[in-house]
Amino acid sequence: MSTAGSARGLRSTGDRTRAPRAALAVGLLLSIPAAGPAPASDERPAEETLKAIEQAGRQIALYHEAIARAVDQLGKEAGDGLPMDLPVVVDRRDGWHVIFLKKPSAPVTSRTMLMVADVLFSPARGEVTRVRAQPSPRPAPADAQSYYQALEIAEAAAAVRKEATPPFDRVILRDSDRGGSLLVYLQTRPEDARAARFGSDLRVTMSSDGKQVRGIEAPHAAPTVIPLPAAGAGQPTLHVHAEGDLPTESDVALILRHPALAPHLVLTPKFIFRIEKDGRIAYLGRNAPAAAGEGAAP
């Protein structure tokens, strides 16, 4: 199989100057059996590292799923008159609460958000278990207020960055491994709803109270937009990382949200990975140009 022929079935748009490198690497990875052992290498990513990325990606995808299911169920039970454009998801002991907020009309100086609905979502079952609409909106719970303000602060801090621009898909999660810090993910929405956008995203680390930004990272150096294929197309898609050695949690989340993109190949300067439709990351080996000493992709 020629390199050009190997790359022909892959769907990807982005920086066209990277196409030759992608084609070379794809020629290598398609010759590796899907179930075969990964090549031995001292630099091979640790399995626990890939598992951590998978888990973080699942949390992001589940956040979006909770909102989507809550919007659908709330519309069925309470009608479409309720505002549903300001949701936050708060993790409590009884499950994930998708709380829909509304800005108060008066007094204009008030920063207190109002709650119009509280939808309980079970992350274990992946379904809505209770819907509570508020006929008369009341002040939102403190945790929902804090999460909403954290999202607003993170987005304001991101305004000076050029890697991602609004409107964003927003996710906020508490990181128990970092002392309860909040992680905010901001990803630019694709202009076409029938496409997935890899990149154009920011990871914002915030204090546990959501009032202070501690750091902003851009996981991708450049965006790649891929049209969503028809369900069951079965052809691999890909995008290239110009920097960094690993797939990102946002890569995994996008495949979980759009499983028709799987199997999806991620080419980093050193390695090649495949993301399955269930979010599993498979290490396929070294990137051929990198192994040949050609350096990172331009």
Instruction: Tell me what the mean pLDDT of segment 1-16 comes to.
Output: 36
For residue 36, what pLDDT is reported? 33
Return the percentage of the chain with pLDDT > 90, whole number.
64
Residue 83 falls inside a structural domain = yes
Per-residue pLDDT tens for 209-256? 999 999 999 998 789 999 998 766 678 999 999 989 999 999 999 999
Higher pLDDT: 105 or 98? It is 98
Instruction: Tell me what the mean pLDDT of segment 129-144 comes to.
Output: 93
How many folded domains does the chain comprise? 1
For residue 258, what pLDDT is reported? 95
Q: Is the pLDDT of residue 80 over 50?
A: yes
Instruction: Tell me what the mean pLDDT of segment 89-110 comes to.
Output: 85
Per-residue pLDDT tens for 256-269? 999 999 999 999 99
Residue 94 falls inside a structural domain = yes
Per-residue pLDDT tens for 30-75? 332 333 333 444 578 999 999 999 999 999 999 999 999 999 999 9
Residue 124 falls inside a structural domain = yes
DSSP 221-277: SS-EEEEPPPTT----EEEE-SS-SS--HHHHHHHHH-GGG-SEEEE-SSEEEEE-T
Radius of gyration of the chain (CA): 21
For residue 290, what pLDDT is reported? 52
Instruction: Tell me what the mean pLDDT of segment 183-209 comes to.
Output: 94
Lowest mean pLDDT: which of 17-31, 150-164, 230-244?
17-31
Domain range enclosing 74: 61-140
For residue 33, what pLDDT is reported? 32
Specify which of 91-100, 179-188, 228-237 reaches the highest per-range mean pLDDT.
91-100
In 82-194, at which residue ranges do the beta strands (DSSP E only) sit? 87-92, 95-102, 114-122, 127-139, 168-175, 181-188
Residue 251 falls inside a structural domain = no
Residue 33 falls inside a structural domain = no
For residue 289, what pLDDT is reported? 62
Other Cβ atoms closer than 10 A to 201? 26
Residue 125 falls inside a structural domain = yes
Closest CA to 64 of 89, 30, 36: 89
Banded model confidence at residue 297, pLDDT cuts 50, 70, 90: very low
| DSSP type of residue 12 | -
For residue 276, what pLDDT is reported? 97
Residue 168 falls inside a structural domain = no
Residue 69 falls inside a structural domain = yes
Instruction: Tell me what the mean pLDDT of segment 15-27 comes to.
Output: 34
| Mean pLDDT, the chain, integer | 82
